[in-house]
């Protein structure tokens, strides 16, 4: 009887350790994927590479899952177009942001995907996204504060935003 209890306890402990390890690997993979996207390199984390068209046809960047959809001709023109950031996986769902750039300035930020794993996640995303959008438009960068109570969503939003900014060469 004691042997069976010991084996059961060991298996339960191993299961808990494996589940925790898998969660940690998933979070670490997301972090390195985002870091790879921000630096313009694709890692072994499953992130795809795409190209973004900026101010002229010779401008391309990798590490973004989206592509610039419009561009202005001429090397002296500032960045113009729509750029999608990378898809950032969180434990509450995926987050992806798209920016619109005119004359080198961010004119719009659209959340293409927000966390939606649970009803609470949807509520948090719906509260955080407009606040983050306003802050980004005001600061013209991804260097903004996270929203209290929406840290995971905010971090993913800002990481995707940074990938879009990198694709736009801003």
51, 60 Cβ separation under 8 angstroms? yes
Instruction: Please choose, from the candidates 37, 32, 28, 101, the residue with its C-alpha nearest in 3D space to the C-alpha of residue 66.
Output: 37
Q: Which residues make beta-bridge pairs with 82? A: 100
Structural domains of the chain sorted by starting position, each given as residue range(s) with its CATH number in brackets: 2-167 (3.90.1010.20)
Instruction: Please choose, from the candidates 160, 170, 169, the residue with its C-alpha nearest in 3D space to the C-alpha of residue 65.
Output: 160
42, 59 Cβ separation under 8 angstroms? no
Element (H, E) at 35: helix 2-39
Per-residue pLDDT band for 79 (boundaries 50, 70, 90) equals confident
Residue 61's CB: how many other CB atoms inside 10 A? 21
Q: What is the pLDDT of residues 94-124, one digit of tens each?
A: 999 999 999 989 999 999 999 999 999 999 9
Mean pLDDT of 148-164: 95
- Taking the C-alpha atoms of residue 53 and residue 90, their distance in angstroms, rounded to an integer, is 28
| Average pLDDT value over all residues in the chain | 72
pLDDT higher than threshold 60 for residue 144: yes
| C-alpha distances in Å from residue 118, one per residue of 14, 93, 122, 125 | 28, 9, 7, 11
Based on its alpha-carbon atoms, the radius of gyration of the chain, rounded to whole angstroms, reads: 20
- Taking the C-alpha atoms of residue 95 and residue 64, their distance in angstroms, rounded to an integer, is 13
DSSP E strand stretches across 35-131? 81-84, 88-90, 93-102, 105-113
pLDDT exceeding 70 applies to what percent of the chain?
A: 56
Lowest pLDDT segment from 12-21, 66-75, 126-135:
66-75
Per-residue pLDDT band for 130 (boundaries 50, 70, 90) equals very high
Per-residue pLDDT band for 93 (boundaries 50, 70, 90) equals very high
Element (H, E) at 26: helix 2-39
Q: What is the pLDDT of residues 17-68, one digit of tens each?
A: 555 545 454 444 444 444 444 434 333 333 333 334 343 333 333 333 344 4
Mean pLDDT of 5-25: 58
79, 55 Cβ separation under 8 angstroms? yes
- The DSSP symbol for 142 reads S
**pTM to 2 decimal places:** 0.57
Of residues 164 and 3, which shows the higher confidence score? 164
């Amino acid at each position: 009887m004691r042997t069976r209890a010991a084996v059961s306890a060991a298996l339960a402990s191993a299961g808990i350790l494996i589940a925790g390890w898998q969660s940690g690997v998933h979070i670490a993979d997301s972090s390195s994927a985002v870091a790879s996207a921000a630096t313009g390199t694709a890692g072994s984390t499953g992130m795809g590479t795409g190209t973004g068209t900026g101010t002229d046809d010779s401008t391309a960047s990798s590490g973004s899952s989206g592509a610039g959809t419009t561009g202005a001709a001429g090397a002296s023109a500032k960045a113009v177009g729509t750029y999608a950031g990378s898809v950032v996986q969180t434990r509450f769902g995926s987050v992806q942001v798209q920016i619109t750039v005119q004359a080198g300035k961010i004119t719009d930020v659209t959340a293409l995907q927000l966390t939606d794993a649970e009803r609470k996640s949807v509520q948090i995303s719906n509260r955080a996204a407009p606040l983050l959008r306003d802050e980004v438009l005001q600061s013209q960068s991804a260097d903004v504060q996270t929203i209290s109570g929406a840290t995971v969503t905010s971090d993913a939003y800002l990481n995707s935003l940074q990938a879009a900014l990198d694709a736009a060469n801003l």
